[in-house]
């Protein structure tokens, strides 16, 4: 069962794989997880969290090695490792699924979560996310149903958060290819 929070911004932490993962949380309702890029942290979301928290429960974790999260010297902090960490973080907080909003490299983390644990991601929103569709074989499905070659859409760069719902992103991808 997912817990709900008040309207006050809470600074919390959870332990994932023995590492302290810090996060900000506010609001109640349908859950939205905000994943920052690099070299930022959860503080990049401070202005938007209260707006989203008016109608949603919002959680913004600091990736391992960023912000207030633990900074171990020898930990794997690759995009793959961060995606696994976020999934374990969700489980540690009792979260089964969420809408995921991701920025920059956080978009790669979010895509891998959506591919490797699709039941954990209800909606995926990518902001200013430069990504290669060949980074993971399953990621191509987000851009072009039915696949396509590795040369198609080598990268996308978006600037308006409202365009990132899965269906709108597909339309934007099709528009860039000239379909």
Residue range 56-87, pLDDT digits in tens: 999 999 999 999 999 999 899 999 999 999 99
- Position 6 confidence tier, pLDDT thresholds 50, 70, 90: low
Quote the percentage of the chain above a pLDDT of 90: 65
Domain 10-177 sits in CATH 3.40.50.1820? yes
pLDDT tens string 22-57: 999 999 999 999 999 999 999 999 999 999 999 999
pLDDT of residue 57: 97
Over residues 85-102, the pLDDT tens digits come to 999 999 999 999 999 999
The domain segmentation of the chain, as residue ranges, is 10-177
Q: What b/e string do you get for 30-56 counting C-beta neighbours within 10 Å, with b at 16 or more?
A: ebbbbbbbbebbbebbeeebeebbeeb
pTM score, whole prediction: 0.73
């Amino acid at each position: 069962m997912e817990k709900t929070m008040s309207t006050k911004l809470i600074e919390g932490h959870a332990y994932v794989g023995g590492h302290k993962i810090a996060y900000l949380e506010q609001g109640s309702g349908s859950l939205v997880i905000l994943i920052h890029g690099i070299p930022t942290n959860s503080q990049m979301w401070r202005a938007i969290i209260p707006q989203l928290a008016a109608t949603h429960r919002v959680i913004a974790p600091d990736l391992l090695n960023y912000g207030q999260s633990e900074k171990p010297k020898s930990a794997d902090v690759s995009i793959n490792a961060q995606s696994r960490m976020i999934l374990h973080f969700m489980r540690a907080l009792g979260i089964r699924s969420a809408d995921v909003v991701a920025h920059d490299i956080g978009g790669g983390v979010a895509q891998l979560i959506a591919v490797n644990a699709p039941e954990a991601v209800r909606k995926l929103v990518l902001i200013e996310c430069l990504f290669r569709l060949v980074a993971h074989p399953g990621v191509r499905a987000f851009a072009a149903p039915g696949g396509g070659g590795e040369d198609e859409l080598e990268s996308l760069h978006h600037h308006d958060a409202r365009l990132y719902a899965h269906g709108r992103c597909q339309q934007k991808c099709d528009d860039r290819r000239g379909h």
